[in-house]
Structure 1
């Protein structure tokens, strides 16, 4: 059974959840830990001879140490690059929190030191007309890692997301600041300082922008020991 499991969310879509997840997996691997990663539902998948494939799920497979079939890493693959609940509706499929929880619990039963479950979009992205993705980590009582992009507006988005996570009864285990653009944001140091003083959780690292993302190189900038303290 996975000794440590975390849910990785972001303040929005396109903030670097997959890059951060892969970097954490690489950091754990460098410490000799057995790792697993999954993205239960992914939209924006490519059609291949082997079926629909998502580049984020493939990145997780490359970064983790344990071998899994693609369908175990990304059990629900949707082709349109749109919100998951809309993509599922267009594909005639029904997605529920209970179903995603079942997939996650299946991987939690596998022997590993670390399991990361990457969400889609932000904390309240819909799964259907009644549920949001946050219902999955809540059902699993899974501590959360938050990815914050260093750009204008991130303080508000980060604080609101952290507030929602805690209101849902979960622990914010840590957060990672990611630079999604080549051009640094103005007043970056002041922004980081404010987040460090007000998010109420450890900053696991600040990742630089890379033209060619390299999770292994970025892993050296992370302090994942914080995740294993308790």
Structure 2
């Protein structure tokens, strides 16, 4: 049975891709086949490829073409709806959902759909990435960047996810930068207030390695193992 989750974050640059790769590595270590999709990516190299999408491809077990993993690759590293408008493209949640379902139906045990930025990042003047998650009707994994302000951002995101009718399947505490002041107290507050299981705490790793990060995660709440 394929289990699919939408990965969002409390903000941009909180480590959504890093955590997604770690989740994929943890699932593979548990003997599961995995795939991932970065439906929209803004910020590409000269080949028109996005680094986040390439990292996902390196960590998943499925062998997919780049265009399947990242169907919409926008050149400038700016908000997706602005980049799309500059390129004369119209992003639609229903269209993106169809592209995601193509990967979801390929038979992998675990599929991750990684968003861009936070929950309400616009796709167009009428839709946001939250509409894509709603189209897919899947559970949401929240990556919390452990830094000042994260409690407010995390609780507001969790509230928005619930109001959009989707379950918050779990969350990950990710230290993307220096350890925040009063880290244990902040983590305890999030554990008490967020209505979902903590999948793990990933410390700052230098150098970063997805397989090493996977050791700090538990997938029991996601896959029942």
TM class by smaller structure: over 0.9
Q: Deviations over 1:56-81 (max 9, x none)?
A: 00000000001000000000000100
> Which residue does 2:33 correspond to in 1?
34
Pairwise CA distance, 1:212: 2.2
> Which residue does 1:211 correspond to in 2?
206
**Are 1:152 and 2:148 matched, yes or no?**
yes
Pairwise CA distance, 1:229: 2.7
> C-alpha distance in 2, partners of 1:218/1:108?
25
Task: Give 2:222's match in structure 1, choosing from 200, 207, 227.
Answer: 227
Task: Give 2:194's match in structure 1, choosing from 199, 208, 221.
Answer: 199
Q: Secondary structure of the residue that 1:72 maps to in structure 2?
A: helix
> C-alpha distance in 2, partners of 1:207/1:63?
17
**Are 1:72 and 2:71 matched, yes or no?**
no
Alignment of structure 1 residues 39-118 onto 2, 5 Å? 39-48=38-47, 52-118=48-114
**Normalised TM-score (structure 1):** 0.96
> C-alpha distance in 2, partners of 1:5/1:218?
21
> Which residue does 1:16 correspond to in 2?
15
Pairwise CA distance, 1:211: 2.9
> C-alpha distance in 1, partners of 2:216/2:205?
13
Structure 1 gaps, min length 5: none
> C-alpha distance in 1, partners of 2:104/2:182?
41
Kindly tell me the number of residue pairs found equivalent between the two proteins: 225
> Which residue does 1:190 correspond to in 2?
185
> C-alpha distance in 1, partners of 2:184/2:81?
37
> Over aligned residues, Cα RMSD in angstroms?
1.0
After the TM superposition, which segments of 4 or more aligned residues of structure 1 sit over 3 Å from their partners? none
Task: Give 1:176's match in structure 2, choosing from 172, 176, 183.
Answer: 172
Q: Secondary structure of the residue that 1:46 maps to in structure 2?
A: coil
Q: Secondary structure of the residue that 1:89 maps to in structure 2?
A: helix
Does 204-213 or 188-197 show the bigger shift? 204-213
> Which residue does 1:126 correspond to in 2?
122
> C-alpha distance in 2, partners of 1:138/1:78?
23
> C-alpha distance in 2, partners of 1:227/1:59?
22
Pairwise CA distance, 1:140: 1.1
> C-alpha distance in 1, partners of 2:86/2:110?
34
